[in-house]
A and B are shown apart, each in its own frame.
Chain A
Amino acid sequence: MIVFEHVGKRYGGRSEALADINFRVERGEMLFLTGHSGAGKSSLLRLIMRLDKPSRGRVLVAGHDLDRFHLSQIPYYRRQIGVVFQDHQLLFDRSVFANVVLPLEIQGVEPRESARRVRAALDKVGLLYRETALPIELSSGERQRIGIARAVVNKPSLLLADEPTGNLDPQLSADIMRLFEDFNRIGTTVMVASHDLALITRLRHRVLRLREGRLVGDEEAA
């Protein structure tokens, strides 16, 4: 699903954010990406989302060399990836439903089919009863779950999460992780960047460890 071959990334004139990264993720896998802040987790995810291009090496996702994409193809590529952000990136001027339906609107799915899928996604994260609420009325845990619903509503084959539990207490964090495991169980490839080592070790999935832009550990699932 994801292949990194000797990938390096340098922003401007600064030192390398990523250096000689090599790894391979199979379809349907679930794994964590860990390291201190500034170790390169976000840079790595940005490369997969094709927000940045690598300075060196190659990134392949689902068989596509991301470097070869024409600018106009990138949006279509991104529609295959669900992304969950630490700050959930919800739009506060519209309801929960309107937030979750956004990816389907962009893809031009019929309204009735969209509504059905949005409700299914909201139901999955346990917030169906809040579909008319505004994000401002929700707790941070609920907002994060809405962010997840939006990421999975178009059934992406790859789900990326950047510190999805960053602001949550341990109980809520565990709930969120359980959601990711559920999606993984139905075949979605899931990659979660997190520095919450206690949580990660408890969950027993494969872990990629980054330190100062280098891959220093790749521990298979226990």
Chain B
Amino acid sequence: MTRRTTSPESQRSTRRGARASQVGLESRTRAWLRHHRAMWLDSAQRLAKRPLSSLLTMLAIAIALVLPSGLWLALDSARLLDAELDESATVTVYLDTRLDERAAMDVAARLRDRAPVAGARLVTAAEGLAEFQQGVGLEDALASLEDNPLPAAVVVTPADTDPDSVRVLASNLEAVDGVDEARVDLAWLERLRRLAELGQRLTLALAGLFGLGVLLVVGNTIRLAVESRRQEIEVVTLIGATHAFVRRPFLYSGAWYGLGGGVLAIVLLVLGGHWLSAPVTALAESYGAHFTLPRLGFGGSVLLCVCSTILGWLGAWLAVGRHLADIKPR
């Protein structure tokens, strides 16, 4: 037998036939929705009635959210940078200095046709010298040289930018006729990857910690709210309110706090972005790079709000569950 059929309510409803229709599934669902709507509004009004303390709670949540989401954004921009770097993960193949220009072009063409190579660009000895002069600013010193000491080179872009396969490709390229040396400098790329991984873990750990912080902030606020409405809880429990009924307004309050905190966190992130963007761009420009701070965007903002709302709801759920057990009608 199911619990429903043994519940006193249903027994009563069968006893009092006229009322049976009232406890039908449809009207129960309607009543449930009605209470949800009422509590959704009621909890918002309660928060609005004490704007300062509500705002402070939301601000505390926002501050806890800003650090991990800011870090996440920074990491995201590092990932963008990483993708750019992947493209620059090239193998420089230095050709035998004895080869003339025509032979060099042949070798370059052969390299281009090899399997895991996405592209190969020939840099002749003369071009190499010109580039070198431009980049380093040693025009005078180089001009005094009689011969061009640079070999022709082919800049090979690997199809697969994974460090290990790039290394294999480099050693394969060295075996090609007319190739003197294939050089690939991956150490700094790997270092950057490790740093990014470290940053990712750090962000996760911080997100976990600060998420816990949000739970505690909401939990504590809701605990006080439960305490201040103790009499009401006792009375409605005495006249037959279910736990879900009693819990509902507090869960909505928690969700509101979370949502408010999420919105404030977005505001803080935008303000912080503005505050930092000028020096960051200037710094990047001094390195000859073009870099702007990443923005949260619409999707990111929605995600942040959804997460913070869920965190608020969860914090309230934990707090109410804990404290309802303490409240027993006298």
Chain A residues packing against B (C-beta within 8 Å):
49, 51, 62, 64, 70, 72-73, 75-80, 83, 89, 91, 93, 102-103, 105-111, 150, 157
Contact = CB atoms under 8 A, between A and B. Distances in A.
Contacts of A64: 8
Contacts of B45: none
A70 B8 CA distance: 11
Which of B22, B28, B31, B240 has the most chain A CB atoms closer than 10 A to its own CB?
A: B240
A103 B8 contact: no
Nearest to A64: B8
**Interface residues of B, dominant DSSP:** helix
Contacts of B34: 108, 111
B239 A106 contact: yes
Interface stretch (B84-92, B228-236, B258-266, B280-288): B228-236
Given A108-B28, A108-B35, A102 B235 contact: yes
User: 9 shortest A-B CB distances, which residue pairs?
Assistant: A108-B31, A79-B240, A78-B240, A76-B9, A75-B242, A75-B240, A106-B241, A77-B8, A103-B239
Interface residues of B, number: 29
Contacts of A89: 231, 234-235, 238
B134 interface: no
Nearest to A77: B8
Contact of A62 (B8, B32, B245, B329): B8
Contacts of B328: 51
Nearest to A61: B8
Contacts of B234: 89
Contacts of A76: 7-9, 240
B3 interface: yes
A80 B7 CA distance: 12
20 contacts: A51-B238, A51-B329, A70-B3, A72-B3, A73-B3, A75-B237, A75-B241, A75-B242, A76-B7, A76-B8, A83-B238, A83-B239, A89-B235, A91-B235, A103-B240, A106-B241, A106-B245, A107-B31, A107-B240, A111-B34
Nearest to A83: B238
A49 B330 CA distance: 12
A51 B239 CA distance: 11
Nearest to A153: B239
Contacts of B243: 72, 75
B326 to A, nearest CB: 15
B27 interface: yes
B48 to A, nearest CB: 16
B238 A49 contact: yes
Interface string B94-135: 000000000000000000000000000000000000000000
Contact of A91 (B28, B232, B242, B245): B232
A70 B6 CA distance: 10
Given A73-B8, A78-B240, A110-B31, 6 more contacts: A73-B3, A78-B239, A89-B235, A103-B240, A106-B239, A110-B30
A102 B22 contact: no
